Amino acid sequence: MQGHVEIFEVGPRDGLQNEPEPISSRDKIALVDSLSKAGFARIEVASFVSPKWVPQMADGAEVLAGIARPDGVRFAALVPNMQGYTGACAAQVDEIAVFASASEGFSRANVNTSIEETLVRFRPILEQARGIDLPVRGYVSCVTDCPFDGAMPPEQVARVADQLFAMGCYEISLGDTLGKATPDSVSRMLLAVQDHVPVTRLAGHFHDTAGRALNNIDAALSLGVRVFDASIGGLGGCPYAPGATGNIATERVDAHLKRLGFETGLDADLLTQAAALAKSLRSGARDDHV
């Protein structure tokens, strides 16, 4: 065996957030509970953003109140601001995540602020989280390509990752938001980021829009990355990145890593069951049963 690689499950949040038809809290809870049984250490289950912008995530507190909480599993929520942080804490999350972009154009489209304004907004969140020992994960989007600004200079990605890490984010997840990354662009980006953030504190978040996600995971593995985000059943994308559907499916990443000789700690049969449930929650799948 080549050692352990962790898959950070983001399907209940990143996967479901863009589904156009409402999904019941009961179904979301069932999905999270099915994932909890499969062996994940961390699952992102909610987003405490304005329901005006992401209505699918409006029931985050209800979902967190309803899920089983087995020992050894941390449940995370995305927060954009102090109001979201307050809501996440009230829902008793185990960790939170903040999100910034390497691209000014994407930052404006996604959160209507500059990169610097976004980072300033996060500082009081990180300070308060530190005071209660609440872990904070940092996301950086558009780490190789942006739908508005084009190719991203690796040094620009490194600057944003460095600032999030310096603020206190325990891990930085680097997102190929468009799914246009190649192994070469991933490697160049990672080499730049590793000059600022230890590779042991980095994660890869690769979309499979162009069918290269597994190749990009391999490139990251070769540089020492040992955490990868994935979405059960391949659910999700990004509403502010045209054509960026296609989160890499957790079950595919798990099988790929195991073929390479890595251990993930995940039960493949339970992943298959969770993937079937996740796919059944898609709008088209649910419409077929109407």
**Active-site residue numbers?**
238
CA dist 23 and 17 (Å) reads: 10
Q: With contact defined as beta carbons under 8 Å apart, do 103 and 118 qualify?
A: no
**Nearest alpha-carbon partner for 225 in 173, 167, 166, 163:** 173
- CA contacts within 13 A on the Cβ side of 267: 10
In a 3-state reduction of DSSP, which class is residue 174? strand
Contacts 24+ apart (CB under 8 A), 28-32: 28/59, 28/63, 29/63, 29/66, 29/67, 30/277, 31/232, 31/274, 31/277, 31/278, 31/281, 32/63, 32/67, 32/75
Torsion of CA 40, 254, 276, 98, to 10 degrees: 50
CA dist 273 and 269 (Å) reads: 6
User: Which are the contacts of 232, defined by CB distance < 8 A and separation ≥ 6?
Assistant: 9, 11, 15, 31, 35, 249, 250, 251, 271, 274, 275, 278
In a 3-state reduction of DSSP, which class is residue 8? strand
